[in-house]
Structure 1
Amino acid sequence: MGSPTSRACEPPVEVREFVRATPRLDGMVVSAVGYRSAGLRPALHRGLPSPYLTLIFSIDGPVVSGSTPEQAYGTDAVRTDIVVGGLHQRPAFVAQPEHEAGIQLSVHPLAARRLLGMPAGELADVLVTEGTDVLGSAAGEIHERLCGETGWSRRFALLTDYLQRRVAEAGRTAGVRPEVAEAWAWLARHRGAGTLDGLAAHVALSPRRLTTLFRAETGLSPKQTARLMRFQHARDAVVRAVATGCAPDLARVAAECGYYDHSHLVRDFRQYTGLSPTGWLAEECRNIQAGGHRDGGECEA
C-alpha cells in the first residue's frame, strides 16, 4: 500500500477541450470555438496572424498577452477578459496559465462595421484591444453572464444572440463598398494567388485606388491579405497532415498552395510564427492532436 501522501504528489490530470459551434451570423463569424484546459504547465502560446479578426470572451481569468514574449511575461503585459484583435502580420504572445477557458470567434473583416461598430482598418496591426473599449459596456454584461453559465450550448447561444442584436442595430448603414467586398471575394476564390493588376482590373479600379480603399477597410493591403490567405491554406494543410498522424510534405504543400518553392513557404512561416515549420509543429503538436487548430480555427488553450 502506498503512503497517504503519494496521490497528492502525482501530477495533475491534463485536460484540453475544444468545442465548435456553427455561428448563425450569415458568414460574419467564420468560426466559433469554446476552449478549456486544466492541469497544464504554464507556457507561452503564439497567436498567429490570419485573414480574420479575433474576438475572445475569456471565462476563467484574463487573457495575458504581449507583442513579445518579454512583454507577455512582464509587468506591462495586456490583461483583458474580452479581446479584440485586428489583422496583423506577426504573432501575438499569450502567457498561458495552468487553467483557462473561453470562447474564441474568428470574425470576417468585412463584418467589422456591423459586429464591432467600426471598420477593421481602425484596428490595423493592433494585436490586442480591450473588448469593452470597442463593444461598450454591454459586452461586459455579456461576459459576466457567460461566466455564470456552465454549458457550452448555452454560452454559444448567449453570445450569438448578443451579436445578432448588434447586427440588427447596425442595420444597412454599416455596409462595405462593393469594390472592396468583391476584391476580398476574388482573393478568397484564388486562395491568395493572382496579381494586384488582375485584381484591380476585376473590380475596375486602379491598383493604387484599390489598395487605398482596401487598406482603409481591412487594415491590410490586397497583397498582404493575399499572403495571409495563402499562408492560412498552407498552415491548414500542415495541420491536417499532423492530425492524421502523417509527417507533412512541405514541398508538396508549398506547390499546392501556390508558393514558388519550399523556401518561400518557410519564409512565411518564419514571418507569421517566428519559427520554422518544424519548430512551430513541435510547439503546437498537442494542441493540434486535441483539435485546437481544426478547420482553420486557432484557440488560446
Structure 2
Amino acid sequence: MFDNNKVYLGMSDVKVSFDELVLPKGVIARRAYAHFMSPHMVALESPTREKLAPSPWKTVRGSGDKIVHWELEVDLTQKPEGAEADDYVKTIVSLLRLGLSPQLHCFLISSVSFASKAEFNDSEPEVSLWETNRVLVLKGAYDELSQSTFGWIAENLERCMDLIYKHYELKLAVSSLDEVHFQQSLPMSLVLLWGALEAIFTKDKAELRFRVSVMISSYLEPDGGDKAYLLYKKVAKLYNERSKAAHGDNSVKQDTLLQTYELLYKAVEKIFEQNSVPTKESLERSLLG
C-alpha cells in the first residue's frame, strides 16, 4: 500500500468531535467508523514450495477485534526527501500521541479511506494491522478530541517534522517515547529512554552519570539554585536505575520508567518550543551561566 500516494490510518481509543480537519503537510483527520474482524484459523501441515499449507484449515476460538473511531489521511508525497514511507507514518503518529493524547492507538492502515463507504466497497482495499497491543497505556486529558485540541499539531506539525528529520538525536527521542508503549520489558524500556537522553545531553563520552545528570538539570532548570540541584539529584538517582537495568537487574519499578518518560518528554517539549536541539556548546554555556 506504500506504493500509493496516500494511506489511511485507522485511529482508535480516542474519538473526535468534528467531521474533518485539514492539517499541514497534506494530513487530514476525519470522522470514520470501521469494525475490523479477523477470525483465527490454523493449518496443521507445513507449506511446500509448490503450494500453501494443505487443508484442512481449522477455525479456532478467538478473533482479532479492532474498532476505528476516526482516520488520518497521510499524503506520502509530502514526506522529507530520503525518508522511508513507513518511518514517516510512524513519526506522524508519534507526534500525535505526544501532542494530542498518549491513548491514541493506530491499529490499522489502509490503502482506501474508511470514511468513503462507496469507494471502499467498490475497490479492493488493502488493510493491514499497523500497531500491536500496547503494554503501557497512559491516560490522556481527553477522551474526545475537538478541533481546538488539535491546535498545537496544526501550528507545529510541519516545523517539528522538519526538526526531527534534521536531528538524529531528536528523532531517537520521539521514537523512544513512542516505543515504550509497546515494549514488553520494563528494564529495556528504561534503557531505551536513557539512550535517547544520552544522545541529546552527552556529546562526548566523559563520566556519563554526572555529565548527563548535570546537563539535563541545567537545561530544564537554567536559573540554577535549589530547583536545579534537586532535579540533578533526581536525575542521578534515575540514572542509577538505568545502569542496573542495562546490566541485567530486573527489579526496575514502573514508577521509575514513568519518571524517566516524563523527563524525556519535558526535554523534547522544550526542544520543540525553542525550535532548536541543544549543542555541546549551548549546554556548557547553560551549565556555566
Same fold (TM over 0.5): no
Q: So what's the TM-score if we normalise by structure 1?
A: 0.26
Specify the structure having the higher radius of gyration (Cα).
Answer: 2
Q: So what's the TM-score if we normalise by structure 2?
A: 0.26
